[in-house]
Structure 1
């Protein structure tokens, strides 16, 4: 089979890249559904059929003669989020029972049903809204399953980059929705909006077919006593056949780490329930609350203020063609996410999120202050400044908080409760998604562009939470991340220096990977291990596997 390339001396197979791209179609579905509604709400035929119109309104006059009430537009936009909230919570038991891959297939089927419900109505806005609710069930479940599957299956050396492709595909989906909308808005009749919605069926078909050719999560397989299949899954992502993996130290080392971690977790319970996510032992409750907080704060950055209502917002600042402005924002969002993938892999998780929160806050303050100081419609310069501020906000968001939070959802939680904790965290995202989508029209009517000050403050709060509560998980296996969180000597602000027992730095992990690939041992007689609190101890590393022999788990 052969490796596609090597990182830190570790072979990376083409399957690693393929599984990330195919699974990320779940993000594309999410983004496409998010991006389409902003433009659909302004399409003349959609307005004529579903909005409140004055007598004698026609297709030519619909834009001025028809309008949605705040309640109706809020429900059409926000019922998707109610569905995603329920879907995210249901995603955990489905993913644990069926496995990560088959769960995605089922969730794609649910999304397709929702699309069919939407495009088969021509005058009942409630049916369109219910269709979005049903589609939301699939989107929400996928938003919990996909990052978890990617994090559990991808090699640790590129886990951040591969998991970040989920966010990349979200932005790509938003951009494609904008582009298709601007192409169909001139169509006569319901095809102007039905085409945009109906094309959405293609994306879950691609995902549900493609994912069946990918390996299952090795951690799910080990947890269900299928170690042989888990070894094959690990082998595939490293470009090896099962026969090559049998005697190769690298996949066997990773398999041993996973087995050790699963056995440790089974000492506490044979099965995990929802209540286990709220037990303080081993900082499980801490991590549940942290994940829920970070996902909530991602929504409170204000990004979806622009994605859901961007066309309406830019229309209000005097932009003649708000559809084009949406495409510009979508392109900035998509293009900058590539930078986000690099930043998250190169600089870790904590500092990009801290600096990103500060950057986003600054430009939202500019946006809100400009819109509050003068009326944008009467001052073209103010309108342009607000567009620039919005683009610079999206630039920072796309490179930090957008990919970073989805990466963390996949790598912060222990194996036994990971699916349920990921669901709870993602559900928190969708709760705030709904609240913002539904109440934004009311809030804008009340405080107009001062709404930006609220989001700016939330971005500063996000930077604060990351600094004081988030541990640095880059460059570590998922099992080592679990060890780091339960190490009492490690604090969030010192976690970047934490390493598993037997290593003096995270650079040594890279050297160990190179040694294993070369079929050589990496076992100096003694290593000086610097803990997060600055103390040192001497440990023998002869024949040890990180996270297995000499692990804090076995000392518990």
Structure 2
């Protein structure tokens, strides 16, 4: 496909296109604010919910931790929904669901109603977390995809900070009203987000999958570094959709079931018959996500007021003010990490982050142990140690474990850096299409060797 195939009126210029893709990625990733706000605000609101609704610790723990279970439902449903109505309207749909959940929680009169609102909000969070990275990856040029796909983690941290600030701002209200406003005001960013997203273009991949080639060309021209890259991305997506490369037009017919059969083939190769190198990559990818969550970040973020209370800090205002400092530290360091990813490298940041997290948690455990063994004494050095270790923990987490898990497959692995999404689909599923003939077998062996070398570096 040549340069003339792209609309002349929107012929791309590299800097302008990066800015446009940057703006689209920011708007899409802002859906992550919903998750961050829900986590942050619940940490402080829980202090007042327990007093007002007179619930026990077990009920409170279920209320705070159940969001991850509910969000799984939204995550599973988001894929089909986005294929049906498009990425952009799925983001709007996620914002609408969270809006409803926030209102229900804000007007809750008992524990059951609060749990139902938590359920609705969790569905919206699941939708948002699934669709934001997908849209960002599909609209971003290959040169900036790794950087742009780290944005969801940035906005999660910003949402957590907003939740902490909301706790501190409304803590002085009456017990009956304060926590309800903390939760209900979360509906405001979802409304703003829904309207802003309507100004975004649709994903070019989804447009091609629906046969809307003219619309896809316009978006690709605006989000690619060069006209050649735009043409290459269009050709790759057409191939993935089963559309002949020589078939052109504003709207074309898309072969039925081509995309679904290709998707099933790729997943079958990944799960049932992965190569040794691919198994290595899967273990690394799943492992880094597992250890990110098992490092205890959710516990620190959700229960930071209780941790500070255990450390000897008294008074709700002091507790909530200290959590604001935690949120600010986390946000600042995630921004620093975002700009250091391409300069220092992912591996050094990840290793330093992991080491810092371990040392910080050991220090926090030491301080809390000393304080718990001397309940009648105020041990200043142990209190200072606990506060310092919590701040250090969120800082170290934010420079490595936080953002790198989001960019792992797009930038951390050498064999995916700079590739289009269709290139990566071929890479992850190449074993199913190269099994006949000695020449094809040799080709497979060569590809596997390259992937093994990249995966072990």
Q: What TM bracket, shorter-length normalisation?
A: 0.7 to 0.9
Residues 87 and 191 (structure 1), Cα distance of their counterparts in 2 relative to 1, 3 Å cut: same
Per residue, is there more helix in 1 or in 2?
A: 2
The gaps in structure 2 that reach 5 residues or longer are 1-8, 244-256, 431-446
Q: TM-score, normalised by structure 1?
A: 0.67
Residues 89 and 288 (structure 1), Cα distance of their counterparts in 2 relative to 1, 3 Å cut: farther
Q: Secondary structure, in 3 states, of the residue corresponding to 2:89? A: helix
Alpha-carbon offset, residue 290 of structure 1: 5.4
Give the structure 2 partner of residue 424 of structure 1.
none
1:484-542 CA-partner distances (Å, limit 9, x unpaired): 55530134663598xxxxxxxxxxxxxxxxxxxxxxxxxxxxxxxxxxxxxxxxxxxxx
Residues 491 and 391 (structure 1), Cα distance of their counterparts in 2 relative to 1, 3 Å cut: farther
2:21 corresponds to 1:27: no
1:217-250 CA-partner distances (Å, limit 9, x unpaired): 22222333333222211112249xxxxx9xx433
CA contact (8 A) 1:3 1:238 kept: no
CA contact (8 A) 2:103 2:184 kept: yes
CA contact (8 A) 1:94 1:103 kept: yes
Alpha-carbon offset, residue 471 of structure 1: 5.6
Give the structure 2 partner of residue 14 of structure 1.
19
Instruction: From 97, 116, 134, give the equivalent of 2:103.
Output: 116
2:448 corresponds to 1:488: yes
Give the structure 2 partner of residue 100 of structure 1.
87
Give the structure 1 partner of residue 443 of structure 2.
none
CA RMSD in angstroms comes to 3.2
Give the structure 2 partner of residue 161 of structure 1.
147
CA contact (8 A) 1:349 1:472 kept: no
Worse-matched range after superposition: 298-307 or 339-348 = 339-348
Worse-matched range after superposition: 197-206 or 477-486 = 477-486
Q: How does 1:193-212 map to 2 (within 5 A)?
A: 193-212=179-198
Worse-matched range after superposition: 103-112 or 472-481 = 472-481
CA contact (8 A) 2:38 2:186 kept: yes
2:122 corresponds to 1:136: yes
Instruction: From 291, 295, 298, give the equivalent of 2:292.
Output: 298
2:78 corresponds to 1:91: yes
Q: Partners of 1:348 and 1:220 in 2: how far apart?
A: 32
CA contact (8 A) 1:25 1:203 kept: no
Alpha-carbon offset, residue 396 of structure 1: 1.5
Alpha-carbon offset, residue 342 of structure 1: 1.3
Residues 308 and 386 (structure 1), Cα distance of their counterparts in 2 relative to 1, 3 Å cut: same
Q: Partners of 2:107 and 2:59 in 1: how far apart?
A: 19
Q: Secondary structure, in 3 states, of the residue corresponding to 1:190? A: helix
2:421 corresponds to 1:478: yes
CA contact (8 A) 1:154 1:237 kept: yes
1:59-111 CA-partner distances (Å, limit 9, x unpaired): xxxxxxxxx52311111102222211111111111122222111112222211
Alpha-carbon offset, residue 137 of structure 1: 0.5
2:269 corresponds to 1:269: no
CA contact (8 A) 1:79 1:130 kept: no
Alpha-carbon offset, residue 205 of structure 1: 1.4
2:320 corresponds to 1:323: yes
Instruction: From 269, 278, 285, give the equivalent of 2:271.
Output: 278
Q: Partners of 2:392 and 2:455 in 1: how far apart?
A: 30
CA contact (8 A) 2:107 2:184 kept: no
Give the structure 2 partner of residue 59 of structure 1.
none
Q: Partners of 1:195 and 1:149 in 2: how far apart?
A: 32
Q: Secondary structure, in 3 states, of the residue corresponding to 1:269? A: helix
Residues 362 and 476 (structure 1), Cα distance of their counterparts in 2 relative to 1, 3 Å cut: farther
Alpha-carbon offset, residue 5 of structure 1: 7.9
Q: How does 1:210-225 map to 2 (within 5 A)?
A: 210-225=196-211
Alpha-carbon offset, residue 388 of structure 1: 1.1
Give the structure 2 partner of residue 50 of structure 1.
53
Q: TM-score, normalised by structure 2?
A: 0.80
Give the structure 1 partner of residue 306 of structure 2.
312
CA contact (8 A) 2:10 2:222 kept: no
Give the structure 1 partner of residue 396 of structure 2.
396
Give the structure 2 partner of residue 334 of structure 1.
331
Residues 355 and 173 (structure 1), Cα distance of their counterparts in 2 relative to 1, 3 Å cut: same
Q: Partners of 2:274 and 2:213 in 1: how far apart?
A: 27
CA contact (8 A) 1:353 1:400 kept: yes
Give the structure 1 partner of residue 43 of structure 2.
38
Residues 147 and 225 (structure 1), Cα distance of their counterparts in 2 relative to 1, 3 Å cut: same
Q: Partners of 1:204 and 1:285 in 2: how far apart?
A: 39
Residues 482 and 268 (structure 1), Cα distance of their counterparts in 2 relative to 1, 3 Å cut: same
Q: Secondary structure, in 3 states, of the residue corresponding to 2:450? A: coil
Report how many residues are paired: 411
Q: Secondary structure, in 3 states, of the residue corresponding to 2:149? A: helix
Q: Partners of 1:234 and 1:279 in 2: how far apart?
A: 35
CA contact (8 A) 1:88 1:140 kept: yes
